[in-house]
Structure 1
Amino acid sequence: MFTFEGANDEKRSVISIIRESLAGTDRDLTTGSIGAALIVLAIPMILEMSMEALFAVVDTFFVAKLGAAAVAVVGLTESIVALIYAVGIGLSIGATATVSRRCGEKDLDGAARAATHAVYLGLAVSAALGVAGIALAPQIYGILGAEAEVVAIGLPFMRIMLGANAVIVFLFLLNGIFRGAGDAAIALRVLIVANGSNIILDPLLIFGVWIFPELGVTGAAVATVIGRGIGVAYAAWALFGRSGGRLVVKREHWRFEPDLLLSLARISATAVLQLLVTTATWSVLVAIIAVFGSVAIAGYQIGLRIFIFLLLPVVGIANAAATLVGQNLGAGKPDRAERSVWIAGASAAGILGSLGLVFVMFSRPIVGIFTADEAIAGYAADCLRIVGYGYAFYGLAIVTESAFNGAGDTWTPTWINLVVLWMFEIPLAYALARYFGHGPHGVFWSISIAFTIWTIVAVLLFRRGKWKLKSV
């Protein structure tokens, strides 16, 4: 049986650590076994990421029964909602960095003030996005080239999703506060509550079951908003309405402090830009592949969805590393913060390296689960196999970039993304695909090569250690 040795030489099994992670813990993340601290944070964060991915899967499953136009509505709207996700995740990065730093300093009043001001920032941003989304929904569909039937049934769906974007933003934001405080189990419970509500409400509101109205595709939007809203309400109660949590927010913590709000805005805005750069890169790569036909696009999308879905465990590990970095920097333990990142990075590289090997060896059987079309399966299998060569490197890159974010140094990974993705990967993909005649395979190779370059640059900058000096 594997064991971890804590600060008081108390040996504990992996199973007991996992139980602690799911039940919730008051563990001090700045002392004791780094491996145990990583497990306590990472397990619920990995499950949390899986819960977040489940929203779109559930909506698509039920909406698919309404026909192609309804599926197109969900797909087109999700491409815009992805921008809301970027905003929500960016705000959560700022909240996690600030709250974790204050918790590491044992300044729980400061952590509570950071939490309230993150809420102020989230309210302002989501209100602006909501007004713009409701007003511009028809123009957005026009830009996306939607057919008239899709626009007719899709406008209410998009207006509801964008108008009520606050439930998306705050689900990310409040969970980012919990992660910063080291309370990852609560963040997981919030997503379980939100997803459970969505799964129950989706068929009721889409098909008009029992006393509920039959709203069609609009019902999926209403169910998602209500489900996420219930999750946000639970998160708000857990953060602001109870007295026994790791972070206790009192009335005096709501006193407005412009400097604190500005600090959060600076960190979060750069984090949002960082995520938008990555999101835009995937869109550009699709555009490069598009000239080679719908079969190539379909194959690429299947391959992309598989390897992005399998990133979720590593994203959970990276989020755990960010919390450990923030809290240990706050505690004046930069060396422990760095060791946490190397341990997390090795774990992430090992997981994705193993998956990459599976992709290389068994790509064709894997994609066969998702499509019976031989032409599409050929592109999808090649995408998985080629990307698999660089998958291990990507695991380390994700963790090191998350470590920068946890330290509040959101500019460094933003510059890394701009340089590696826009100045290297996109030009390389275009050149290999168009000028050197490799077609879609040129794009696949550019992704794998970029993973490697991305990791080298991120690790070199991380080893310089300037992130240890970042004040938050």
Structure 2
Amino acid sequence: MPKQATLTQGSTFKHVSIMSFTGALGLMAMFLVDLVDMLFLSMLGEREIVAAVGFASTVMFFTVSISIAVSIAATALVARAIGEGNFELAKRRATNVLAIGVLFSSAVVWFLWPRIPEVLFFLGANFRTLDLATGYLQILLLGMPAVMIGMIASGIMRALGDARRAMYATLVCSVVNAVLDPILIFVFGLGIHGAAIASLLARFSMVAVSYYGVVKMHRMLGAFDGAECFKDLKPIALIAVPAMLTNMSSPLANAIVMAYAAEFGDHAVAGVAIVGRVIPVVFGGLFALSGAVGPVLAQNYGARQFQRMHNAMTSAVVYALIYSVLLCSALYLAQDFLVAIFHATEETASLIHFFATYGSFSFFFQSLLFIAIAVFNNLGKPLNSTLLNFGRATIGTWPLIVLFGWLMGADGIIFGQAVGSVIFGCIGFVMARRYLKELEVKEEQAVSDSSLSQQACPNR
């Protein structure tokens, strides 16, 4: 167990960069394997398979977002307790968040599994695409509890400032998946079902690595106590439920996009699905930003070091700008390569080219929204994150993709999403800055009131 809150000392830019970079490596490795999945499956020569993975991924994004939401509660509560110097409280809450997460994810699997065909049909899948997507998702969904354990464990280790071991769980998962993919898809001839089985087994490998980091190295899990778990249910729910709603908004946006893309045919769905796999590989460093900034903010909030919290936000913006310029430029140069390796048709290639040339640059503004979400989730106002993300997923997505889809065709789907990201990224960042200043003013007022009280009653 750590002897001190390490994120309350040293350069905030260094903390944000290291936490983001290590988180990005794990995320990018995981999503790179998903991208390779798509590449292998595209080699089978059936566009219905690629479209099926796109539909199934929309639902899986929903389940993974739930796991991320619960891990946000773990990170915020554990990091805040460590910043206050209360390591026993941190250990208790780590144990209870994990228990609640496993129970909840199991309930989601029980509810969703028999309804998979109806959900996929609602999203627009039909005929052979529906059958393939159903079989793929029925296998993959069984691994949701394992994903929940891995995400929560990674959140606990990030809260401790141990970004390196948090990365190991996702790296091992990716390696296992990458090894099993070609064996099950091609050697055993299982096709899309082989890809699902490989991903399922890889997710269970996360559990073993996470157990070693949290239990063996940091000794952060204690004996489960039902009464203490019930006592911690409220603070956990106050963060996890709004964060869950926040994260559900992203798959909601993806579902809206996928359903609208279906109106342009399987070629458009395949293009959106390929772009959806490219995005987390290229921009994993930005997706990791919220999880990187959160522990830095939470530990310093527990220690009441507000200037470091302001510095952490500024450091995150600088990191996001540098990252976006470098990776968007690389994506622009690699667009023809992506079209070639996915054997994209003319319609599908058009979407890939448009995203690499224009749409990708909106991710800097989306990173501003990620920073704002980290502020609200970790500093006691997670409902703001929910409102911002749902705003982006609904009025920042559907009207814009319909409008620009009407004006520009399928390319308008990408452009509409980009415009929504710019608008809500700017709004969210301004709101987060103001909220942090409000917390600082309240703390200064509380200190001032306490000082005056002591002066008035010196003998008390």
Q: With structure 1 as the length reference, what TM-score do the two structures score?
A: 0.81
Partner of 2:157: 178
Kept after mapping to 2: 8 A contact 1:345/1:400: no
Kept after mapping to 2: 8 A contact 1:390/1:448: yes
Partner of 2:24: 46
Partner of 1:377: 349
How has the CA–CA distance of structure 1 residues 420 and 226 changed in structure 2, closer, same or farther, with 3 Å as cutoff? closer
- Deviation digits for residues 141-197 of structure 1, max 9, x if unmatched? 554565565666765643332233211222212111111221111111112222233
Match of 1:198 among 177, 187, 195: 177
Q: Within the alignment, does 1:78 sit opposite 2:57 as a pair? A: yes
How has the CA–CA distance of structure 1 residues 355 and 201 changed in structure 2, closer, same or farther, with 3 Å as cutoff? closer
Matches within 5 A, 1:26-37: 28-37=6-15
Kept after mapping to 2: 8 A contact 1:197/1:227: yes
How has the CA–CA distance of structure 1 residues 154 and 320 changed in structure 2, closer, same or farther, with 3 Å as cutoff? closer
Q: Within the alignment, does 1:226 sit opposite 2:201 as a pair? A: yes
Aligned partners of 2:179, 2:70: CA distance in 1, in Å? 29
Match of 2:66 among 87, 111, 114: 87
Q: After the TM superposition, which of the residue ranges 32-41 and 180-189 deviates more from structure 2?
A: 32-41
Report the structure, 1 or 2, having the larger helix content. Answer: 2
Match of 1:401 among 345, 370, 373: 373
Partner of 1:452: 422
Q: What is the SS of the residue equivalent to 1:459?
A: helix
**How far is 1:290 from its partner?**
4.1
Matches within 5 A, 1:124-139: 124-139=103-118
**How far is 1:105 from its partner?**
1.3
Identical residues among aligned pairs (%): 24
How has the CA–CA distance of structure 1 residues 140 and 31 changed in structure 2, closer, same or farther, with 3 Å as cutoff? same
| RCO comparison, higher one (Cα < 8 Å, 6+) | 2
Q: With structure 2 as the length reference, what TM-score do the two structures score?
A: 0.83
Aligned partners of 2:221, 2:246: CA distance in 1, in Å? 30
Kept after mapping to 2: 8 A contact 1:357/1:389: no
Kept after mapping to 1: 8 A contact 2:351/2:414: no
How has the CA–CA distance of structure 1 residues 43 and 357 changed in structure 2, closer, same or farther, with 3 Å as cutoff? closer
Matches within 5 A, 1:232-381: 232-240=207-215, 242=216, 244-245=217-218, 248-251=220-223, 256-356=228-328, 362=333, 365=336, 367-369=338-340, 370-371=342-343, 373-381=345-353
Kept after mapping to 1: 8 A contact 2:291/2:374: yes
Matches within 5 A, 1:411-450: 411-434=383-406, 437-450=407-420
**How far is 1:348 from its partner?**
0.4
Partner of 2:91: 112
Structure 2 letter corresponding to 1:43? F
Aligned partners of 1:334, 1:239: CA distance in 2, in Å? 29
Structure 1 letter corresponding to 2:303? A
Aligned partners of 2:230, 2:55: CA distance in 1, in Å? 38
**How far is 1:252 from its partner?**
7.2
- Deviation digits for residues 358-397 of structure 1, max 9, x if unmatched? 66x7586465445564444334323332324534322323
- Deviation digits for residues 186-210 of structure 1, max 9, x if unmatched? 111112222233333444555666x
Count of residues in correspondence between the two structures: 438
Structure 1 letter corresponding to 2:77? T
Structure 1 letter corresponding to 2:143? A
How has the CA–CA distance of structure 1 residues 72 and 448 changed in structure 2, closer, same or farther, with 3 Å as cutoff? closer
Kept after mapping to 1: 8 A contact 2:297/2:312: yes
How has the CA–CA distance of structure 1 residues 450 and 238 changed in structure 2, closer, same or farther, with 3 Å as cutoff? same
Q: After the TM superposition, which of the residue ranges 171-180 and 55-64 deviates more from structure 2?
A: 55-64
Aligned partners of 1:235, 1:331: CA distance in 2, in Å? 28
**How far is 1:326 from its partner?**
1.0
**How far is 1:28 from its partner?**
1.2
Aligned partners of 1:221, 1:377: CA distance in 2, in Å? 26
Structure 2: 5+ residue runs without aligned partners? 444-460
Q: What is the SS of the residue equivalent to 2:10?
A: coil
Aligned partners of 1:284, 1:162: CA distance in 2, in Å? 21
- Deviation digits for residues 272-329 of structure 1, max 9, x if unmatched? 2112212212332343444445555444444454344321112223321111011111
Matches within 5 A, 1:144-223: 157-206=136-185, 217-223=192-198
**How far is 1:40 from its partner?**
3.2
Structure 2 letter corresponding to 1:162? L
**How far is 1:81 from its partner?**
1.6
Structure 2 letter corresponding to 1:459? F
Aligned partners of 1:266, 1:116: CA distance in 2, in Å? 17
Kept after mapping to 1: 8 A contact 2:42/2:49: yes
Kept after mapping to 2: 8 A contact 1:353/1:391: no
Kept after mapping to 2: 8 A contact 1:328/1:337: yes
